[in-house]
Structure 1
């Protein structure tokens, strides 16, 4: 008889704990908190990326999770079990955490197969099978007896990935793993790496300073600045809803208009912008990406301003134009204040310097932030 019919509660299964949980992590050097109250979780099969400029604390955070550095505050748990706090500490080799470094750190005196097998603790037959499986998946089976010096950078990266995954770690830590590769190789190798990590169900914590890499690989981005996480979420959300001007500018070039709030409105050469909840007299920055600045091709810059149904326009003069392959970048000197705004246009558009033009912008893609 179903339990609900005899008055007994139906048991509800509890969701599993996150694979990695970092809680209020702090690390201080010479009185400066280089990691400051950092908290986040990473689930099994998820790729989380610590993203930020050099010196923001992301690599120090990774080192503490790996166990090669010690925090001054906070705790780290794996699958709900404490790994370390300021008193208790599981040794790095017992944390079931794999590491993949920027320089790959392959052993030069070991063959590809022996590099991958390093650290495996099973029987000889099981180890050979695991090595063969992973080398096949990274397409390096033909190099089983080769040595690292005979491999290209991309091939070394694949071997390093196979070695890191060979012990089936619960978590894989990756510190700028693709920065040493030729730019032409990166995208393909990133995609191959991501597919393999997803297949393995490994929780991944990736450190990078490249927004493109984070957006291409991560399920969750943790944007760091001066030791703190200032914004977290899916790549789409961070790009389209930045928390402040610096966050918007980290992901792409930006144009910045300035103004002062009066009556919940800010007046600009492109018309008024709504700024509800911001006190009168507050200076604000209105941020717009170059691809959302529109050129009025139909009228040209010598005629009257576009009519209101086409949006409020501002007048500028071309300073220079550059062809970038898929698009052109055009810089304008604006009449109203002499500032320079940049617009990107798909395909080839190379107006001569000195050409006058009307510009409009997409209001739904503009961000308004109180100026700091």
Structure 2
């Protein structure tokens, strides 16, 4: 059954997938689509259902309900199921699973059919793309982890899959190599015009690689969109916290306004007396060194200043993390400052917050 055709049709589409193991709903009504040449990241904490979703698409696990389409053609529902080997879907996992007794060339050619000369040509083409032509007749044990990962990529791409499913494929690599390998892998996948669904629990990896992020939690996709939008327009406090450390300022709404030590925030739609949380990342709190003697006067962009005393300061490499105890209620706020800034404990400083970078949510119960 073909429901969609044309240049804008998704290469992969899943609709309302559900999967339960025992009493636990692991995947709960998950829907998404991926176009040719697009990289979509399923991002979320361990145990949220990301890998199970991937396994259902691959055909390793069977969904309890829902449908999976490739190029508009139904490949699996609860009654009809195309076997995994006929789905034209490539798989890459954290474990490269190369055959140790086979050469690099034989590993890459493993899933290929046809004439020997055609297989060899495809192997040579892919190894050139991943800069491993020199290793064609070597064995996996003489290669580094990053090189083995590139062989695994070439093997997965060899049969020209329409879709590539990747489950934490870079997590076993050394941090110093990871960024380069990710960038090389992304370039090859884009060149092959493959639709990619990448599972990761690392926000940095998703931001670096994805055209679109699907943020997953407790078996559901809670937010989906471009990385910029996911980061700058988060759906709730947990979404903000997944991408970075956060500060939370608690108050209550009154007449569509919420009073805080940093001035008032608009809270339309909130009931009077309803608990409100103003969330701001540490890098968006500013230290005002020129405010001494002027007090907590409001400014057009940053609102009212509030004073805190330094509790601790640490240098983190590219920035300094300064922890403050606020004078108004003894709450703690964390501030990141570029470069080296290490004030002594108990140093009083005025703080202002980037009001355009604050998020206002109903307090979580």
Q: Which moved more, 1:144-153 or 1:180-189?
A: 144-153
Q: Distance in 1 between matches of 2:316 and 2:287?
A: 18
Displacement after TM superposition at 1:306 (Å)? 4.4
Q: Deviations over 1:208-261 (max 9, x none)?
A: 000000000000100000000000000000000000000010011110000100
> Counterparts of 2:303 and 2:68 in 1: how far apart (Å)?
52
Q: Distance in 2 between matches of 1:150 and 1:81?
A: 42
TM-score by length of 1: 0.94
**Which of 319, 335, 341 matches 1:349?**
341
How many Å separate the matches in 1 of 2:106 and 2:276?
Answer: 59
**Greater shift after overlay, 47-56 or 328-337?**
328-337
Q: CA contact under 8 A between 2:17 and 2:31: conserved in structure 1?
A: yes
CA distance in 1, matches of 2:295, 2:184: 51
Q: What SS does structure 2 have at the residue aligned with 1:308? A: coil
Query: What do residues 57-115 of structure 1 show as CA deviations (whole Å, max 9, x unaligned)?
Result: 00000000000000000000000001100010000000000000101111111111111
Q: Which residue of structure 1 lines up, in the alignment, with residue 326 of structure 2?
A: 334
Q: Does 1:152 align with 2:144?
A: yes
Q: Does 1:39 align with 2:31?
A: yes
Q: Name whichever of 344-353 and 14-23 sits farther off.
A: 14-23
State the shift of 1:17 in Å.
Answer: 2.4
Supply the distance in 2 between the matched residues of 1:323 and 1:348 (Cα, whole angstroms).
6
Matched, 1:307 2:301: no
Instruction: Return the alpha-carbon distance in structure 1 between the equivalents of residues 345 and 179 of structure 2.
Output: 36
Q: What secondary structure, in the 3-state scheme, does the structure 2 residue paired with 1:120 have?
A: coil
Shift of 1:304: 4.2
Q: Which residue of 2 is the match for residue 235 of structure 1?
A: 227
Tell whether the 8 Å contact from 2:12 to 2:70 is kept in structure 1 after alignment. Answer: yes
Number of aligned residue pairs: 358
In the alignment, does 2:236 pair up with 1:225?
no
Q: 1: CA distance between counterparts of 2:166 and 2:87?
A: 15
Q: Deviations along 1:155-204, whole A, 9 cap, x unmatched?
A: 11111111111111000000000000000111111111111111000000
Deviation at 1:298, TM superposition (A): 2.3
Taking the TM superposition and a 5 Å limit, the aligned residue runs for 1:251-262 are: 251-262=243-254
Deviation, 1:308, is 2.0
Secondary structure of 1:204's partner?
Answer: strand
Who is 1:89 aligned against?
81
- Offset of 1:31 from its aligned partner? 2.4
TM-score by length of 2: 0.96
Aligned to 1:208: 200
The answer for unaligned runs of 5 or more in structure 1 is 1-12
Q: CA deviation at 1:326?
A: 1.5
Pair 1:273-2:265 in alignment:
yes
CA distance in 2, matches of 1:277, 1:151: 59
Asked if the contact 2:296/2:306 (under 8 Å) is kept, the reply is no
Q: Give runs of aligned pairs for residues 88-167 of structure 1, distance below 5 A.
A: 88-167=80-159
Q: CA deviation at 1:116?
A: 0.5
Which of 216, 241, 245 pairs up with 1:249? Answer: 241
SS at match of 2:213: strand
Cα pair 2:288 2:350 within 8 Å, conserved: yes
Helix, strand or coil at the partner of 2:17: strand
SS across alignment from 2:340: coil
- The alignment partner of 1:106 has SS state of coil
Equivalence for 1:20:
12
Question: Secondary structure of 1:341's match?
Answer: strand
CA RMSD of aligned residues (A): 1.2
